[in-house]
Amino acid sequence: MDQNATVASLVNQAMIALTQQNHTNALNAYAAALRIARELKRSRLIAVILNHVGDTFQAQGEIQDAVIAYEAALRALESEDELKLDSVRNCL
């Protein structure tokens, strides 16, 4: 299985864990997926996974950890010129 497929599988495992209210297993699967996404240097994939991590923390009521994950997702996208994050931030 290639690494992209492994990431997809891990994210799917995390989502299944969330449907079972198993936040710990979800976060562990997201962490494993995130490690691979970082090895692949896929900034958009990193941002998507971090956004899922934030959603998971939020579901647990861990708001501060959720905000940290969401901010990390935005930072992962800073190198993406075509997204023009400065104009997005100005709209917030």
pLDDT computed for residue 78 by the predictor: 85
pLDDT tens per residue, range 66-81: 999 999 999 998 877 6
86 has a pLDDT exceeding 90: no
CA atoms of 79 and 45, how far apart (whole Å): 13
What are the angstrom distances between the C-alpha of 90 and each of 23, 43, 66, 87?
33, 21, 22, 5
What whole-number distance in Å separates Cα of residue 18 and Cα of residue 29? 11
CATH of 3-91, one of 3.30.70.100, 1.25.40.10, 3.40.50.300, 3.40.630.40: 1.25.40.10
The torsion angles phi and psi of 79, rounded to 5 degrees, stand at: -85, -5
Residue 1 has pLDDT above 80, yes or no: no
- pLDDT tens digits, residue range 18-60? 999 999 999 999 999 999 999 999 999 999 999 999 999 999 9
